[in-house]
Amino acid sequence: MTISESKKQTTSDIPDKIFQKVSTFPSMPQAAIKLRTLISKKDVSIDEIEKILRHDPGLAVNVLRLANSAFFGIPAKVTNLKQAVMLLGVNRFSKIAVGASMYKSMDTAVEGYGLSPGELWLHSIAVSTTAEALAKNRKLAEANDFFTPALLHDLGKLVLGKFVKAEQPKIDSLVADGVPIVIAEREVLTTDHAEIGALILSKWSFPDDLINAVLWHHYPDGSEDSNLYPEIVYLANFLCHSKGGGESEEEARNMPYSSVLDRLRIDSEQYIVLAEKARNWMKKLSDTLTFD
């Protein structure tokens, strides 16, 4: 069965114990919901953002920590929200605030995937920012929200992790034989973390294009969308896992789908540059950003 065919299953094909975990998965943090609503507006003021952050001092602190990380390249340390907005711009600052608001939800060890506390969140921030950079490179409309599906692309791991751990020997055996992890998950569990993540976003009433970006973030060729959301999230995720741009025979075998690069109009030389940038971004993020 191909990925395209298997993804057409109904939720009734997902084991009850997994689907139950999806149905009881916590709602999106209220601050994130409010901030996403602001981002969708044409004109957003810092006062509106401050009003949301004022009710959660811990979130405001985390927003400033994130804004001050070397990852975002602000030349001088910022000490207040207004200063951060001036340097980053309202729209970019709002998205950083959305990312920070997801910290508590994602700051946990993810069993089954070998992720230590905070590692999933750090990766998600890197992928979301890389996705924005790719969209800018492709000159896609700024109104499109590539940040959010990239931020939430691995959310399904929070649900599926314990089930992956329970079936670890079977999944590891398939992976050792060269089966991609997402296929191994589906072979053993009849679902995968991308599908579970998409179900969570559906539960949160996200629009279809963002849900599909999460659903197809490992196999964008299976998506019927033409808006490039799945391609952007796929490549951003790939870049943030990449160890290079094909300089060796081993890395050349681990290149992204050429069909995706073609649709995004990225040639091999451009990909090597993007891979190096993504690697540097990840290092800056992991080296400089820590939360209590």
Residue 5 has a pLDDT of 47
1: confidence class by pLDDT, cuts 50, 70, 90: very low
Residue 4 has a pLDDT of 41
Residue 10 has a pLDDT of 52
Question: Degrees (nearest 5) of the Cα angle 57, 59, 62?
Answer: 115
| pLDDT tens, residue by residue, 70-127 | 667 677 788 888 888 888 887 778 888 888 888 888 888 998 999 999 889 888 988 9
Q: Which of 70, 71, 66 is nearest to 81 (CA)?
A: 66
Where do the H-state alpha helices sit in the chain?
3-6, 16-23, 30-39, 46-54, 57-68, 81-88, 90-101, 103-106, 119-137, 147-151, 157-166, 168-176, 181-189, 193-203, 208-215, 229-241, 249-252, 258-263, 268-288
Q: What is the mean pLDDT of residues 198-205?
A: 94
Q: Please give the class, per CATH, of domain 16-288.
A: mainly alpha
Residue 286 has a pLDDT of 65
DSSP string of 71-139, one letter each residue: GGT-SS---SHHHHHHHH-HHHHHHHHHHHHTHHHH-S-BTTTTBPTTHHHHHHHHHHHHHHHHHHHTT
Residue 244 has a pLDDT of 42
Residue 248 has a pLDDT of 37
pTM value? 0.85
Q: Which of 79, 69, 77, 76 is nearest to 99 (CA)?
A: 69
Residue 6 has a pLDDT of 46
Residue 141 has a pLDDT of 72
Between 191 and 283, name the one with better pLDDT. Answer: 191
Looking at the predicted structure, is the pLDDT value of residue 186 above 80?
Answer: yes
Q: Which residue ranges make up each domain of the chain?
A: 16-288
| pLDDT tens, residue by residue, 223-258 | 888 889 999 999 999 998 864 443 433 444 578 999
Residue 7 has a pLDDT of 52
| pLDDT tens, residue by residue, 132-170 | 888 888 888 766 789 899 999 999 999 999 999 999 999
Q: Which of 130, 188, 129, 124 is nearest to 156 (CA)?
A: 124
Q: Which of 216, 95, 224, 201 is nearest to 152 (CA)?
A: 201
The answer to whether residues 160 and 186 touch, using CB atoms and an 8 Å cutoff, is no
Residue 218 has a pLDDT of 95
| pLDDT tens, residue by residue, 208-224 | 999 999 999 999 998 88
Give the number of other Cβ atoms within 10 Å of residue 140's Cβ.
17
| pLDDT tens, residue by residue, 256-292 | 999 999 999 999 888 888 888 877 777 776 665 554 4
Q: Which of 114, 205, 101, 109 is nearest to 147 (CA)?
A: 101
Alpha-carbon Rg for the chain, nearest whole angstrom, is 19
Looking at the predicted structure, is the pLDDT value of residue 51 above 90?
Answer: no
Q: Which of 222, 224, 244, 235 is nearest to 265 (CA)?
A: 235
Amino acid identity, position 239: L
Give the number of other Cβ atoms within 10 Å of residue 111's Cβ.
15
CA atoms within 13 A on the CB side of 124: 28
